[in-house]
Amino acid sequence: MSHNDFIQMGIYLVVLLLAVKPLGIYMAYVYEGKPAGLNIWLSGLERWIYRICGVKPEKGMTWKEYAIALLVFNILGILMVYAIQRLQAFLPLNPMAMAAVSPDSSFNTAVSFATNTNWQGYSGESTTSYLTQMLALAKQNFSSAATGMAVLAALIRGFIQKQMNTIGNFWVDLVRTVLYILLPLSIIFALILVSQGVPQTFSPSAKATLVQATKDSNGKPMTEQDIALGPVASQIAIKQLGTNGGGYYNANSAHPYENSTPLSNFLEMIAILLIPAALCYTFGVMVRDRRQGWALLAAMLVIFIPCLWASITIEQKGNPLFDKLGVDQRATAYQPGGNMEGKEARFGVVSSAIWSVATTSASNGSVNSMHDSYMPLGGLIPMWLIQLGEVIFGGVGSGLYGMIAFVIVAVFVAGLMIGRTPEYLGKKIEAFEMKMASLMALIPHIFVLIPTAIAVLTVAGKAGISNPGPHGFSEILYGFSSAGNNNGSAFAGLNANTVFYNTALGVSMFFARYWLMIPALAIAGSLSAKKIVPTTQGTLPTHTPLFVFFLAMVILIVGALAFFPALALGPMVEHLILRSFDFTQDQTLSIVECVRLHSGLTLSEVEGLMI
């Protein structure tokens, strides 16, 4: 890595960590109902929302009531998004006359945006109307993010409440999350994006005259190009802040209208991890021990920083086959160097690698480069970060309650090692909590590995592969890893907009999201009903560097044991094949001969072109 690489990585981490404490305190005050500025000024609006919705904010819910309210709200959201997509041809705000979306794609998208996955098997600018983008997709970006944060708030109450059978009110947590956290941050961020050139308009597509006339696929002459516009900035703001990731355009944040300048690129990268990182401090504030929040954040960074360093190093080193051909891949004043395939020249290797690690550490899934074009080990890193369960920062709320599940496993294992009943934050960790935490750790594995196996064994699954061999397997594995852990990014070489993949990925997204939320709420209900146990000399401290390291190792071991065999069949073997390939004279001649046979040129003409 060069000095420039370290500087970019260092600035990113410093700015992110500086925002953790102030935002973390603010969010803690919001959930605790303490004065925090906006919740004073907008308290009348909050009460009005409760009144028209028939919500009694003072009434607490048991964990089962909380879970039922959550599921009903999200299922209604899925049905609403599905209906809007199917009826968009008859609805307003459709200046480009977009047709109805197919049933399987509508199902996949409805589930995807409800589960905070935002997997997209379609091109947004040519498939969905302005109304669909705003009322269906952008709305779900708010509600899916708020749902995850509400579950986290309920789980935290489980640790701080004493012998109570309620864990809060889902509707109150939902409204406060949107009204005081997500909406204000999104408005500010959207205005910044507009200042950088991101569109925010209801105007139809703009027309641009081509420099050189051409013909379309039907042979008709073309002199103009349509440039898709729309309410872009508002959706990009919440897509990043809510770790949603779904793009307005097919190219996502590699598109200049989603990500216009180096400043917008940096701010969007910060936004991806801003709330997940700050929620660690929120946790510490709410449990009255801020060291616990810093410990959880430290455990995330222990895994995040080495992955970030490795990704930049691998991609900056470039393609070893180019080295054998004598291609200069060094970073100089005249070229960025490294593996630039699939990357934007305006961002380069470092910003692309930082984004890829950040978006797969969080359950964000947005991209400013194509992960499918990364070196084999460069593509392994974001895939493996997803497979760890999206707990290294993770989605807003969902990442931290997933991390707490691993904390419970770590505390339980440590308790067995020292022969004591495990405790965390004054609550005993017993069989029920361990069972629920185990489900949270293992359920995503089920909805990744089993569908991957089905896909590689069926004709419909293999039909989506564009690159046969290890890389094709990696495309499928990455796709189901992304769906099963609610990330949303993809190895773009997989054609997933088919009935098979739309259905299979949709099912994986649905169960992997809500089968984790329900155990998390069950843990909250169980802990809330317990009394707080006084700390003694035998209590395992959970804020020390030793526990941080132990927690990180538990996460890594669970991830390695579950996915190492699959990764060995995909990116690892692809890396070995790449390293063992040699351009011998015979192989060069075979390439020349292949080109000659398919081009109709003479042997001397082909050799002249290659020279």
Q: Taking a C-beta distance cutoff of 8 angstroms, is the pair 485, 387 a contact?
A: yes
Q: What is the 3-state secondary structure (H, E, C) of 430-451?
A: CHHHHHHHHHHHHHHHHHHHHH
Average pLDDT in the 11-20 region? 96
Residue 543 predicted with pLDDT over 70: yes
Residue 201 predicted with pLDDT over 90: yes
Percentage of the chain lying above the pLDDT 90 cut: 72
Which pLDDT score is estimated for 147? Answer: 97
Helix, strand, coil percent values for the chain (each to nearest 5): 65, 5, 30
Phi, psi of 215 (to 5 degrees): -125, 150
The number of beta carbons lying within 10 Å of the beta carbon of residue 134 is 18
What DSSP state is assigned to residue 466?
S
Average pLDDT in the 571-596 region? 64
Which pLDDT score is estimated for 581? Answer: 66
- Average pLDDT of the residues of the chain: 90
Which pLDDT score is estimated for 602? Answer: 57
The lowest-confidence range among 262-271, 285-294, 578-587 is 578-587
Q: Taking a C-beta distance cutoff of 8 angstroms, is the pair 247, 258 a contact?
A: yes
Please indicate whether residue 262 or residue 534 has the higher confidence score (pLDDT).
262
Among candidate residues 313, 49, 356, 354, the one with its CA nearest the CA of residue 180: 49
Sorting pLDDT into bands at 50, 70 and 90, what band is 3? confident
Residue 18 predicted with pLDDT over 70: yes
Q: Taking a C-beta distance cutoff of 8 angstroms, is the pair 506, 107 a contact?
A: yes
Which pLDDT score is estimated for 607? Answer: 52
Among candidate residues 325, 483, 486, 309, the one with its CA nearest the CA of residue 395: 486
The lowest-confidence range among 276-290, 572-586, 588-602 is 588-602
Distance CA 561, CA 445 (A): 11
Q: Which residues contact 327 (CB under 8 A, 6 or more apart)?
A: none
Angle between helices 499-528 and 470-484 (to 10 degrees): 40
Which pLDDT score is estimated for 583? Answer: 52
Among candidate residues 378, 149, 343, the one with its CA nearest the CA of residue 243: 149
CA distances from 169 to 28, 41, 59, 407 (A): 16, 22, 7, 25
Average pLDDT in the 112-118 region? 94
Residue 98 predicted with pLDDT over 60: yes
Largest CA distance in the chain: 86
Among candidate residues 466, 503, 453, 468, the one with its CA nearest the CA of residue 483: 503
Distance CA 491, CA 369 (A): 11
Average pLDDT in the 575-591 region? 62
The pLDDT tens digits of the residues spanning 445-483 come to 999 999 999 999 999 999 988 887 889 999 999 999 999
Which pLDDT score is estimated for 597? Answer: 44
Highest mean pLDDT among 107-121, 214-228, 534-548: 107-121
